[in-house]
Amino acid sequence: MALEMRVLQADEWDALYDHLELAFGGVPDSSETRELFRSLTEVERSLAVWDGQTCVGSASAFSFRLSVPGGAPVPAAGVTMVGVAPTHRRGGILSSLMRRQLDDVRAGGEPLAVLTASEPAIYGRFGYGIAAHELSLDIDTDRAGLSVPPGTDALRLRIVDPAKALGDCERVYAELVARRPGMPARQPGWERLPLLDPESDREGASRLMCVVAERPDGEVAGYARYRVKPDWDAAGAPRGTVMVRNLDALDPAAAAALWRYLFGIDLTSTLRVGRRPVDDPVLHLLGDARRARPSTADALHVRLVDLPAALRARGYGAALDVVLEVEDAFCPWNAGRWRLVSAGPGGAVSCVRTEDPADLALSARELGAAYLGGVALTSLAGAGLVRELRPGALAAASRAFAGDVAPWLPHGF
């Protein structure tokens, strides 16, 4: 029987989600997780491939607005729910889904598509570049040491119900979006994601808890959500773990107050936190950062769907006039020579086709990697992925593309 690709119907959602659970190992999600993503799914942006009555492939997208260097949040397709049934792999289904999806994203006027990858090697061939990484820490709180900046003691900490504190926490998050590239501006419904707390996902830890840091005037300047997992060693000494889900703060004092609180929770000796920006300031508060056992992994993959619109939408840290020779076999409308001109920070930006000689040659994947300012064009050139055709062009473009802070994706999708 021939396979059929079509836009998902609302009454087919359960079949698609069942297919995804099978494609990702067969372990069912909790009912709470399932219902949340049912409510968030944009059915009209969901593609399914059918073999008769069986869903064997899928790809969906969320309508995001993504923070970028020096500019307003940019419309972006948050690619999600991508999977192919084990029985139908290596038959071209994924390529067909990516082809249709990127065509739809372009038709919808979104300059960017972004995703997180279960297998990072898959998406480079479709023009996605790894633009943001994430930091994980497993801190020995007995030995790492923690110092705090002036003003930390002025913050008042309160333990609050996570749901009741949601409004204050969301205001903090919204203010941070403009400060760091890679963060999705929260769309309606997404505020429920960080509160998701099914018992089946707790791994023996407590329910989700929340602490807020308040300034003297009562304004919430930061918050942390966490669980505690009790444990004791063979001699009966406590060695519990604090498992941090979120920590967001508007200033150094609030952040330090929250870290100090988490370090000091009774009966614990380990602080475990993932999905942090790779330049997280907490690394500079530690007396011995080795005791944090830091590790990094890829986080956000970026694809320029409308190249000139995407390059015009972000700001640049220095004046720039460069001609890019772009290779893009999967989205050929992006291929060719583009003149990118920026007046510098806060200045006008233009990006137009040109016949002028190229200064740099690269693929759409490398542009995606450099787009959020966290991956240097000079680094990509060192790997042979960007070629300098005019002396001096590489250094100038790399400085202009670079961001002041590392891009960060605070939650998955």
Q: Which residue numbers are catalytic?
A: 123, 413
Q: Are 314 and 348 in contact (CB under 8 A)?
A: no
Q: What is the distance of C-alpha 158 from the center of its chain?
A: 29
d(CA 379, CA 146): 33
Number of other CB atoms surrounding residue 283 within 10 Å: 14
Q: Are 117 and 77 in contact (CB under 8 A)?
A: no
Q: Which value, in Å, is the radius of gyration of the alpha carbons in the chain? A: 23
Q: Are 376 and 398 in contact (CB under 8 A)?
A: yes
Pairing of strands 156-160, 336-342: unpaired
At 233, the amino acid letter reads: D
Long-range contacts of the stretch 214-220 (C-beta < 8 A, 24+):
214/155, 214/156, 214/157, 214/158, 215/154, 215/155, 215/156, 215/254, 216/154, 216/156, 220/165, 220/168, 220/169, 220/171, 220/172
CA angle 252, 258, 261 (to 5 degrees): 140
